[in-house]
Amino acid sequence: MTRLLEMRKIEIEGFSSEEEKWMPIIKGLDLTLDKGEVLGLIGESGAGKSTFCQQTVLNSIATDRPIIFVTTEQGPTEITALLREKGMGELQPGALSFIDAFAETVGLATPERTDTLGANCEDLNSISVAVTKLQQRVARKDILLAFDSLTSPYLFNREEILRFIRLCLLRFAAQGNAVVALMDEGCGRAEDLVAMMSVADGIITMEMGEGSWLVNVVKHPKVAPTTLETPIARSGMVTMDKFDPGFFRRLMEVGLTGRGEPFRKEVGDFVHIFWRHLVSWSGMLWDPKRFPRMTYEFSKQIEYVGGRERLPVLPWHMRLLIRLILPDDFSQPQNVKRFMRRHKKNMEKRGQRIMEFLDDASETDEHHIRMREGYNCWGLESVGARLAFQDCGYVAGVLNMFDKAERNWNVVETKCIGLGDPYCEAMFVPGDIPEMKGFLEGLDGSIAEKIHDRLMDQLVGFLVHGRPLAERPRLGSGVLFPLMFHITYPSQLSDRYRMAVRMGAAKAGKEVGDHLMDTGLQEDEVVTRVIEFMNTCKVGKVTLRPRSGQALGETIRMRENCESFGLETGEPSCFFTTGFLNGLFSAVKNQHIRETKCIAMGDPYCEWEII
């Protein structure tokens, strides 16, 4: 049981806040901004920029400086709660105002608050207009504009972001105010970040080292260049309590035997691997440095934790079968080869991979397999990186679930078609693997963008010219839909992951809509083709319906949505689907959608209203 609890602890959020250690550093720096100054906070996601920004806001409130807070990653309610946790008391009217550029972008409702205006990351002009309106409403000089963060507006409007910074942020500062703006390092092009940094009066970079948090004052009108460091700890916890227990038990039975009735009676249990790529790589744009490790660790833990928790409740004959097929020792190559051979056909039936154990390369406590037609990499050949993060995590989790010695197995990809190799290969050993760091941290924003652009080209080619999507010679195009949970379920555990999935989905939907409108298609034809694409991919059974009781307006209904089927969360949980549809309708019809029913809430289907 001790090891089970230890194995639950993984990096989902990245690092624990431990703000009692951070605050002395933040408060010890005199980073007060004078009128006309612009400060940039730069660092990888999870590096502490938002916490730093929030403390800057609190310092300004204490000096009676009014705040306009632009939020693109969460809502004003969440920001207000965080500020109150850090000591913010009751405020005078006009002391703190919000521009919510998050909710409308991802298909949520902008909260009805007197201190809040809505905007959209897809439309920089909407943010500029909102800034001007709040500036006029506050009717004071020396306002602090806190912009958390520029990452989403940049990823939606890369070609326009510098102009926006000059015409909105710099102009706002020049009018007797100050600006603190955040930007994630590693997202997008490095030269764009350099250009954005060049216009700021001050730059502070933040990074997480090995167990420490570093703050680097690169330049500042009052503070000399310096580096400050404090210890910090990793955190994270996997829980499987959002799954229907009966669903999870049946899933294990099917996985072990390869038999059983379909889960999804209408559309079947397979989803096109292209949809899986679209979900995974859209979110990856927002966090290319951390997402590979998060997806690897989560896939590993969902197999280990889920299996260990559900094995005891399997029927007796299933437990007996497991004892019969499991080797006593995973150290010896012949035992692992026997274990892999028993599962090879199931892996192929699930659409995962064609697997071959490499006898010549394997030895005690070091095993090698070759993978062909893997669902992580197919269709993404020669993009410049190893890609099978989820698949390697899955294999590691299976080994940990069944290993009687209870050692911590890890799996690293050594060859990949993403690097131009003719097939993928992986090595797995108990304990740490030195090569793992390079595998999980070898991705950057340029590669994520390259993959995203390739997916957009493939999708537009399918929608406009009827070109086929990825099809594997032996395994075909489908992968068992529960494998989607490896990339969607972390959204239930991590606010950061959920935001990235939502924003990535909105960007993908908007780009698809823009591309199709550029071809001259009519609005309704664009929507029809995209819905047909989702049905082709067997995301669920999607229909466009007249709104109940009204002559005008429509709703989108989806039965057996692969994103929420089997979940019991009590709230709308189709984060990618909602963001994708919202991005599509905002581009094509200047409308937005909102999820009103969800399978995860106990409804018979998921449904979105178009507003």
Read off the pLDDT of residues 251-293 as tens digits, 9 standing for 90 and up.
666 655 556 678 899 999 999 999 999 999 999 999 888 889 8
430 and 453 co-located in one domain: no
283 and 299 co-located in one domain: no
3-state class (DSSP) for residue 232: coil
Query: Does residue 415 lie in a domain region?
Result: yes
Query: Does residue 398 lie in a domain region?
Result: yes
pLDDT given for residue 323 in this prediction: 63
416 and 493 co-located in one domain: no
498 and 421 co-located in one domain: no
Q: How far is CA 136 from its chain centroid?
A: 36
pLDDT given for residue 238 in this prediction: 55
Domains held by the chain: number: 3
- When pLDDT is cut at 50, 70 and 90, the band that residue 311 belongs to is low
Q: Which of 267, 121, 327, 333 has its CA nearest to residue 565? A: 267
Given 443, 470, 497, the domain boundary residue is 443
Distance CA 470, CA 467 (A): 10
Tens digits of residue pLDDT in 467-510: 999 899 999 999 999 889 888 988 888 888 899 999 999 999 99
pLDDT given for residue 259 in this prediction: 64
If one counts every other C-beta atom within 10 angstroms of the C-beta of residue 452, the result is: 21
Distance CA 436, CA 446 (A): 21
pLDDT tops 50 at residue 2:
no
- When pLDDT is cut at 50, 70 and 90, the band that residue 330 belongs to is confident
Share of the chain above pLDDT 70, in %: 85
Which letter, b or e, does each residue of 278-305 get, where b requires 16 or more Cβ atoms within 10 Å of its Cβ? bbbbbbbbbbbbbbbbbbbbbbbbbbbb
31 and 165 co-located in one domain: yes
Indicate the average pLDDT of the chain.
86
Distance CA 218, CA 29 (A): 13
Distance CA 272, CA 471 (A): 9
CB 364 within 8 A of CB 334: no
pLDDT given for residue 3 in this prediction: 38
Q: Which two tokens stand for residue 141?
A: 């000089």
Give one DSSP letter per residue of 156-185, joined into a string: H-TTTHHHHIIIIIIHHHHTT-EEEEEEET
Q: What element of type H or E holds 549?
A: none
Given 388, 409, 443, the domain boundary residue is 443
If one counts every other C-beta atom within 10 angstroms of the C-beta of residue 453, the result is: 11
pLDDT tops 80 at residue 62:
yes
Given 443, 469, 490, the domain boundary residue is 443
pLDDT given for residue 10 in this prediction: 39
Query: Does residue 147 lie in a domain region?
Result: yes
Query: Does residue 243 lie in a domain region?
Result: no
pLDDT given for residue 65 in this prediction: 94
Q: What is the CATH number of the domain that holds 366?
A: 3.30.1380
- When pLDDT is cut at 50, 70 and 90, the band that residue 549 belongs to is low
430 and 458 co-located in one domain: no
pLDDT given for residue 392 in this prediction: 94
404 and 458 co-located in one domain: no
Question: CA-CA distances (angstroms) from residue 142 to 38, 177, 514?
Answer: 12, 4, 39
pLDDT given for residue 415 in this prediction: 97
- When pLDDT is cut at 50, 70 and 90, the band that residue 345 belongs to is confident
Question: CA-CA distances (angstroms) from residue 116 to 99, 103, 129, 234, 582?
Answer: 6, 12, 13, 34, 21
Distance CA 331, CA 167 (A): 63
Q: What is the CATH number of the domain that holds 222?
A: 3.40.50.300
Q: Which residue has the higher pLDDT, 582 or 51?
A: 582
pLDDT tops 50 at residue 5:
no
3-state class (DSSP) for residue 494: coil
Question: Residue 85: which residues within 8 A CB-CB, separation 6 or more?
Answer: none
Order across the sheet with 593-597: list the strands.
Answer: 541-546, 554-559, 606-610, 593-597
- When pLDDT is cut at 50, 70 and 90, the band that residue 352 belongs to is very high
221 and 310 co-located in one domain: no
pLDDT given for residue 66 in this prediction: 96
Query: Does residue 520 lie in a domain region?
Result: yes
Q: What element of type H or E holds 594?
A: strand 593-597
- Is the dihedral angle over the CA atoms 251, 255, 260, 263 positive or is it negative? positive
Give the 3-state secondary structure percentages of the chain, helix then strand then coil, rounded to 5: 45, 20, 35
Query: Does residue 428 lie in a domain region?
Result: yes
By residue count, the chain amounts to: 611
pLDDT given for residue 8 in this prediction: 37
- pTM reported for the whole predicted model: 0.88
pLDDT tops 50 at residue 4:
no
pLDDT tops 70 at residue 310:
no
Mean pLDDT of 7-34: 51
pLDDT tops 60 at residue 553:
no
Distance CA 501, CA 286 (A): 8
Query: Does residue 109 lie in a domain region?
Result: yes
pLDDT given for residue 111 in this prediction: 83
Query: Does residue 334 lie in a domain region?
Result: yes
Q: Residue 425 corresponds to which amino acid?
A: E
CB 113 within 8 A of CB 75: no
Domain that holds residue 462: 278-288+445-611
Question: CA-CA distances (angstroms) from residue 208 to 34, 233, 292?
Answer: 29, 10, 16
200 and 324 co-located in one domain: no
427 and 459 co-located in one domain: no
Residue showing tokens 């099917």: 254
Distance CA 371, CA 423 (A): 6
pLDDT tops 50 at residue 552:
no
Give one DSSP letter per residue of 249-310, joined into a string: HHHHHHHHHS-S--S-TTT-SEEEHHHHHHHHHHHHTT-TTTHHHHHHHHHHHHHHHHHHHH
Tens digits of residue pLDDT in 125-179: 999 999 999 999 999 889 999 999 999 999 999 999 999 999 999 999 999 999 9
39 and 185 co-located in one domain: yes
333 and 467 co-located in one domain: no
CB 542 within 8 A of CB 472: no
Q: Which two tokens stand for residue 600?
A: 């995860």
Tens digits of residue pLDDT in 421-435: 999 999 999 999 999
Tens digits of residue pLDDT in 405-422: 888 999 999 999 999 999
Tens digits of residue pLDDT in 159-170: 999 999 999 999
